[in-house]
Amino acid sequence: MLRAGDWALLVDPKARRYLVRLKEGGRFGHHVGGVTHEQIMAAGYGGRVRTTKDAWLWVLRPSLEDYVLLMKRGATVTYPKDAAAIVLMLDLAPGERVLEAGSGSGALTLFLARAVGPMGEVVSYERRADFLERARANVEAWGDFPVTFRHGDLAEAEPEPDSFDGVALDVMEPWRVLAAAVRALKTGRSLVLYLPNITQVVQAVSEAKRHPLLLRRVVEVAHRDWDVRPPVAHPHFRQVGHTAFLVQLTKLRAVGEQAQHEEEGGSEPQSGQDEDG
């Protein structure tokens, strides 16, 4: 049985979704009739409730994807398909630390926090106070996550050098913050830029050449929903098209540092060769 404070996803006969935070004495109104929050709690996840107009609503457990698409927002959210790809490209694991610039509404922050788990940490910078408070509220409403929000510009911040396992930048001019981001990132780990248009991508890649960064890839994440009602199946008429380009860059050892490493005899033997030979 559900309790006050839990989240529930209600799905109507046409598969439309509604996110509800349950509370004592609450009521959900719908064009096919209303239901009380007590009815929803009693039904539980996987159950259904009958509305005042004799229609049925399924009660489901909302996923993180459902939450970020239906939660209150200030800035446009990072779409879940892109957020999941960013987590993959950063190769995040439980217990790691990740730096974010551009908290927005907190969507990407939540995906990053889930990836690093309770023993990890997300440090998220946001220049706009209203966006920061919205992101903080959205993250806290979903659960207890290891996120440290900082009001300010990452370009003017001084994060500890080589202290983060990944960096995610969702800002309009990422080249402004690259120096701070690269300094904070561990050598060999990746940084991902989330950019809406290709002009930004071209400029960002050009500016990245000023730093010890290797361009790994530039991708768009395609996501195509299908409507399957046997014996008929066809793509949904309304699709989410282009959302953003994702640019993955990996931090290299600085040229001077590499030269010193080699002078000290720290170069690695090439693959397939015997160290003694």
pLDDT at 13: 86
Query: Rounded to two decimals, what is the model's pTM?
Result: 0.87
86 and 42 in a single domain? The answer is no
The token pair at 201 is 């991508």
pLDDT digits (tens, 9 = 90+) for 182-229: 999 999 999 999 999 999 999 999 999 999 999 999 999 988 888 888
Q: Is residue 242 assigned to a domain?
A: yes
**Domain stops at, among 24, 44, 62:** 62
pLDDT digits (tens, 9 = 90+) for 57-71: 999 999 999 999 999
Task: Please say whether the beta carbons of 168 and 113 come within 8 A.
Answer: no
121-126, strands of its sheet edge to edge: 147-151, 121-126, 97-101, 164-169, 185-195, 245-251, 213-219
pLDDT at 186: 98
pLDDT at 261: 44
Q: Is residue 273 assigned to a domain?
A: no
102 and 170 in a single domain? The answer is yes
* Helix, strand, or coil (residue 134): helix
- Residues of the chain predicted below pLDDT 70: 255-277
121 and 181 in a single domain? The answer is yes
What angle, 0 to 180 degrees and rounded to 10, lies between the N-to-C axes of helices 129-142 and 107-116? 50
48 and 89 in a single domain? The answer is no
Q: Tell me how long the chain is.
A: 277
- Give me the CATH number covering residue 240: 3.40.50.150
**Domain stops at, among 47, 62, 77:** 62
85 and 183 in a single domain? The answer is yes
**Domain stops at, among 30, 45, 62:** 62
E strand or H helix that includes residue 184: helix 178-184
218 and 238 in a single domain? The answer is yes
Q: Is residue 94 assigned to a domain?
A: yes
pLDDT at 115: 97
pLDDT at 156: 95
Could you give the CA distance from residue 258 to residue 264 in angstroms, rounded to a whole number?
Answer: 10
Backbone angles phi, psi at 243, to 5 degrees: -115, -50
149 and 255 in a single domain? The answer is yes
pLDDT at 267: 43
Domain interval for residue 44:
7-62
| Counted domains in the chain | 2
- C-alpha distances in Å from residue 213, one per residue of 91, 100, 161, 208: 17, 18, 15, 6
